[in-house]
Amino acid sequence: MTIHKEGRSLILITTLLVGVLLFIADQYATQYPWIFWLVLLIGGFFWMAFVQFFRLPSRKNTAEPHQWVAPCDGKVVVIEEVEEPEYFKDKRIQVSIFMSPLNVHANWTPCAGQVKYAEYHPGKYLVAWHPKSSTENERTSIVVERGDGKQVLFRQIAGALARRICYYVQKEDVLQQGQEFGFIKFGSRVDLYFPLGTEIICKIGDKTVGNETVIASA
Protein backbone atom coordinates (compact mmCIF):
# COMPACT_ATOMS: atom_id res chain seq x y z
CA MET A 1 0.00 0.00 0.00
CA THR A 2 1.15 3.53 -0.81
CA ILE A 3 -0.19 7.05 -0.29
CA HIS A 4 -2.04 8.50 -3.28
CA LYS A 5 -0.38 11.48 -4.95
CA GLU A 6 -3.51 13.59 -4.32
CA GLY A 7 -2.94 13.35 -0.55
CA ARG A 8 0.84 13.59 -0.18
CA SER A 9 1.04 17.37 0.15
CA LEU A 10 -1.88 17.46 2.61
CA ILE A 11 -0.33 14.75 4.78
CA LEU A 12 3.05 16.52 4.69
CA ILE A 13 1.45 19.83 5.75
CA THR A 14 -0.49 18.05 8.51
CA THR A 15 2.71 16.37 9.75
CA LEU A 16 4.59 19.69 9.88
CA LEU A 17 1.69 21.48 11.56
CA VAL A 18 1.28 18.80 14.22
CA GLY A 19 5.03 18.84 14.82
CA VAL A 20 5.06 22.61 15.31
CA LEU A 21 2.06 22.50 17.65
CA LEU A 22 3.65 19.71 19.68
CA PHE A 23 6.86 21.73 19.97
CA ILE A 24 4.90 24.75 21.22
CA ALA A 25 2.83 22.62 23.59
CA ASP A 26 5.99 21.05 24.97
CA GLN A 27 7.15 24.49 26.11
CA TYR A 28 4.15 24.65 28.44
CA ALA A 29 4.20 20.97 29.41
CA THR A 30 5.53 21.63 32.91
CA GLN A 31 2.71 24.01 33.77
CA TYR A 32 -0.02 22.53 31.59
CA PRO A 33 0.89 18.90 30.76
CA TRP A 34 -2.61 18.19 29.41
CA ILE A 35 -2.06 20.61 26.51
CA PHE A 36 0.68 18.42 25.03
CA TRP A 37 -1.46 15.29 25.19
CA LEU A 38 -4.51 17.09 23.79
CA VAL A 39 -2.53 18.33 20.78
CA LEU A 40 -1.03 14.87 20.29
CA LEU A 41 -4.47 13.24 20.43
CA ILE A 42 -6.19 15.68 18.06
CA GLY A 43 -3.24 15.98 15.68
CA GLY A 44 -2.72 12.23 15.60
CA PHE A 45 -6.40 11.67 14.84
CA PHE A 46 -6.36 13.97 11.80
CA TRP A 47 -3.03 12.59 10.58
CA MET A 48 -4.30 9.02 10.74
CA ALA A 49 -7.61 10.02 9.11
CA PHE A 50 -5.82 11.59 6.14
CA VAL A 51 -3.46 8.61 5.76
CA GLN A 52 -6.45 6.24 5.85
CA PHE A 53 -8.40 8.29 3.30
CA PHE A 54 -5.55 8.71 0.80
CA ARG A 55 -4.27 5.13 0.99
CA LEU A 56 -3.72 3.42 -2.34
CA PRO A 57 -3.71 -0.38 -2.02
CA SER A 58 -2.18 -2.67 -4.60
CA ARG A 59 -4.92 -4.39 -6.62
CA LYS A 60 -4.69 -7.25 -9.13
CA ASN A 61 -7.21 -7.24 -11.96
CA THR A 62 -8.19 -10.73 -13.13
CA ALA A 63 -11.37 -9.89 -15.08
CA GLU A 64 -12.03 -11.15 -18.60
CA PRO A 65 -12.20 -8.69 -21.56
CA HIS A 66 -16.02 -9.05 -21.75
CA GLN A 67 -16.44 -8.14 -18.08
CA TRP A 68 -16.60 -4.77 -16.36
CA VAL A 69 -15.01 -4.33 -12.94
CA ALA A 70 -16.04 -1.91 -10.21
CA PRO A 71 -14.31 1.45 -10.67
CA CYS A 72 -14.22 2.08 -6.92
CA ASP A 73 -14.63 0.68 -3.43
CA GLY A 74 -18.09 1.17 -1.97
CA LYS A 75 -21.64 -0.13 -1.79
CA VAL A 76 -24.05 -0.72 -4.69
CA VAL A 77 -27.06 1.53 -4.05
CA VAL A 78 -28.83 1.71 -7.45
CA ILE A 79 -29.50 -0.79 -10.23
CA GLU A 80 -32.19 0.37 -12.65
CA GLU A 81 -33.05 1.12 -16.25
CA VAL A 82 -32.91 4.87 -16.88
CA GLU A 83 -32.64 7.46 -19.61
CA GLU A 84 -29.04 8.71 -19.92
CA PRO A 85 -29.38 12.33 -21.11
CA GLU A 86 -25.81 13.57 -21.50
CA TYR A 87 -24.10 11.30 -24.04
CA PHE A 88 -26.12 8.26 -25.11
CA LYS A 89 -29.50 10.00 -24.91
CA ASP A 90 -31.27 6.64 -24.70
CA LYS A 91 -32.09 3.97 -22.15
CA ARG A 92 -29.24 2.34 -20.25
CA ILE A 93 -28.77 0.21 -17.15
CA GLN A 94 -27.49 2.39 -14.34
CA VAL A 95 -25.38 0.94 -11.52
CA SER A 96 -24.41 3.37 -8.75
CA ILE A 97 -21.72 2.77 -6.12
CA PHE A 98 -21.68 4.96 -3.00
CA MET A 99 -18.27 5.67 -1.47
CA SER A 100 -18.13 6.52 2.23
CA PRO A 101 -15.24 8.54 3.70
CA LEU A 102 -13.80 5.22 4.95
CA ASN A 103 -13.47 3.75 1.44
CA VAL A 104 -10.42 3.98 -0.80
CA HIS A 105 -11.22 6.91 -3.11
CA ALA A 106 -9.02 6.08 -6.10
CA ASN A 107 -10.96 5.23 -9.28
CA TRP A 108 -10.06 2.55 -11.84
CA THR A 109 -11.17 2.04 -15.43
CA PRO A 110 -13.87 -0.69 -15.57
CA CYS A 111 -12.79 -1.99 -19.00
CA ALA A 112 -10.07 -1.64 -21.61
CA GLY A 113 -10.79 0.61 -24.57
CA GLN A 114 -10.60 4.07 -26.06
CA VAL A 115 -11.97 7.21 -24.42
CA LYS A 116 -14.71 8.60 -26.65
CA TYR A 117 -15.91 11.34 -24.32
CA ALA A 118 -14.51 13.06 -21.22
CA GLU A 119 -16.16 16.12 -19.71
CA TYR A 120 -15.95 17.91 -16.36
CA HIS A 121 -19.03 19.70 -15.01
CA PRO A 122 -18.89 22.10 -12.05
CA GLY A 123 -21.96 21.96 -9.85
CA LYS A 124 -23.57 21.65 -6.45
CA TYR A 125 -22.63 19.47 -3.48
CA LEU A 126 -25.84 17.64 -2.68
CA VAL A 127 -25.49 14.47 -0.62
CA ALA A 128 -24.25 11.69 -2.91
CA TRP A 129 -27.46 9.65 -2.61
CA HIS A 130 -29.72 12.57 -3.61
CA PRO A 131 -31.64 11.73 -6.83
CA LYS A 132 -30.43 14.93 -8.52
CA SER A 133 -26.76 14.56 -7.53
CA SER A 134 -26.06 12.70 -10.80
CA THR A 135 -27.07 15.73 -12.89
CA GLU A 136 -26.54 18.73 -10.60
CA ASN A 137 -23.42 18.01 -8.53
CA GLU A 138 -19.81 18.57 -9.51
CA ARG A 139 -19.01 15.59 -11.73
CA THR A 140 -17.10 14.13 -14.64
CA SER A 141 -18.49 11.89 -17.37
CA ILE A 142 -16.19 9.51 -19.22
CA VAL A 143 -17.17 7.11 -22.01
CA VAL A 144 -14.90 4.18 -22.94
CA GLU A 145 -15.49 2.00 -25.99
CA ARG A 146 -14.23 -1.57 -25.89
CA GLY A 147 -12.71 -3.30 -28.91
CA ASP A 148 -16.05 -5.00 -29.61
CA GLY A 149 -17.80 -1.62 -29.88
CA LYS A 150 -19.65 -1.77 -26.55
CA GLN A 151 -19.53 1.49 -24.62
CA VAL A 152 -19.88 2.30 -20.94
CA LEU A 153 -20.24 5.71 -19.35
CA PHE A 154 -18.89 6.14 -15.84
CA ARG A 155 -19.51 9.31 -13.89
CA GLN A 156 -17.61 10.56 -10.84
CA ILE A 157 -20.00 12.54 -8.62
CA ALA A 158 -19.00 14.80 -5.75
CA GLY A 159 -20.85 14.41 -2.46
CA ALA A 160 -21.72 16.86 0.30
CA LEU A 161 -18.14 16.75 1.65
CA ALA A 162 -16.32 16.55 -1.67
CA ARG A 163 -14.89 19.70 -3.17
CA ARG A 164 -12.62 18.36 -5.86
CA ILE A 165 -12.87 15.63 -8.46
CA CYS A 166 -9.63 14.58 -10.16
CA TYR A 167 -9.41 12.71 -13.45
CA TYR A 168 -6.39 11.91 -15.58
CA VAL A 169 -7.76 10.94 -18.99
CA GLN A 170 -8.87 12.76 -22.10
CA LYS A 171 -10.65 11.97 -25.35
CA GLU A 172 -8.87 9.47 -27.61
CA ASP A 173 -6.74 8.03 -24.79
CA VAL A 174 -6.42 4.24 -24.90
CA LEU A 175 -6.89 2.73 -21.44
CA GLN A 176 -6.19 -0.64 -19.93
CA GLN A 177 -8.74 -2.35 -17.70
CA GLY A 178 -7.93 -1.45 -14.11
CA GLN A 179 -5.88 1.61 -15.03
CA GLU A 180 -6.31 4.39 -12.48
CA PHE A 181 -8.26 7.23 -14.08
CA GLY A 182 -9.10 9.52 -11.18
CA PHE A 183 -9.69 10.27 -7.52
CA ILE A 184 -12.57 11.87 -5.61
CA LYS A 185 -11.69 13.77 -2.45
CA PHE A 186 -14.01 12.79 0.43
CA GLY A 187 -17.57 11.34 0.29
CA SER A 188 -18.83 10.62 -3.20
CA ARG A 189 -20.35 8.22 -5.72
CA VAL A 190 -19.69 6.67 -9.13
CA ASP A 191 -22.49 5.92 -11.61
CA LEU A 192 -22.06 3.52 -14.53
CA TYR A 193 -24.34 3.26 -17.58
CA PHE A 194 -24.29 -0.08 -19.42
CA PRO A 195 -25.98 -1.10 -22.69
CA LEU A 196 -29.40 -2.72 -22.35
CA GLY A 197 -29.03 -6.48 -22.23
CA THR A 198 -25.89 -6.35 -20.11
CA GLU A 199 -25.77 -9.02 -17.42
CA ILE A 200 -25.52 -7.20 -14.09
CA ILE A 201 -23.67 -9.49 -11.72
CA CYS A 202 -23.82 -7.35 -8.60
CA LYS A 203 -26.96 -6.60 -6.57
CA ILE A 204 -28.07 -3.72 -4.36
CA GLY A 205 -26.25 -3.78 -1.04
CA ASP A 206 -23.15 -5.54 -2.38
CA LYS A 207 -19.78 -4.20 -1.25
CA THR A 208 -17.40 -3.63 -4.16
CA VAL A 209 -13.61 -3.66 -4.28
CA GLY A 210 -12.31 -1.30 -6.94
CA ASN A 211 -10.41 -2.96 -9.79
CA GLU A 212 -11.33 -6.43 -8.46
CA THR A 213 -15.10 -6.95 -8.17
CA VAL A 214 -16.77 -7.90 -11.47
CA ILE A 215 -20.09 -6.05 -11.62
CA ALA A 216 -21.31 -6.67 -15.19
CA SER A 217 -20.70 -8.82 -18.26
CA ALA A 218 -21.64 -8.67 -21.94
Please check whether residues 109 and 31 belong to one and the same domain: no
Helix (H, G, I), strand (E, B) or coil at 32: coil
pLDDT tens digit sequence for 33-82: 888 888 888 888 888 888 888 888 888 888 899 999 999 999 999 999 99
In a domain, 62, yes or no: no
Number of domains in the chain: 2
Give the rounded distance of the alpha carbon of 43 from its chain centre: 26
Q: Which residue range forms the structural domain that includes residue 46?
A: 2-56
Q: Please answer whether residues 110 and 98 qualify as being in contact, where contact means their C-beta atoms are separated by less than 8 angstroms.
A: no
**5-27 vs 33-53: helix axis angle to the nearest 10?**
180
Q: Which of 64, 102, 30 is nearest to 201 (CA)?
A: 64
In a domain, 184, yes or no: yes
Please check whether residues 29 and 99 belong to one and the same domain: no
The pLDDT assigned to 134 comes to 65
* This prediction's pTM: 0.83
The pLDDT assigned to 31 comes to 79
Please check whether residues 108 and 51 belong to one and the same domain: no
Please check whether residues 49 and 80 belong to one and the same domain: no
CA atoms of 2 and 63, how far apart (whole Å)? 23
Options 96, 133, 141, 188, the catalytic residue: 188
CATH for 149: 2.70.70.10
Q: Which residues of the chain have pLDDT under 70?
A: 124-136, 160-163, 186-187
Active-site residue flag, 188: yes
pLDDT tens digit sequence for 16-30: 988 888 888 888 777
Residues 6+ apart with CB under 8 A from 165: 120, 138, 139, 140, 156, 158, 182, 183, 184, 185, 188
Which alpha helices (H) appear in the chain, and where do they start and end?
5-27, 33-53, 133-136
Torsion of CA 200, 206, 207, 210, to 10 degrees: 0
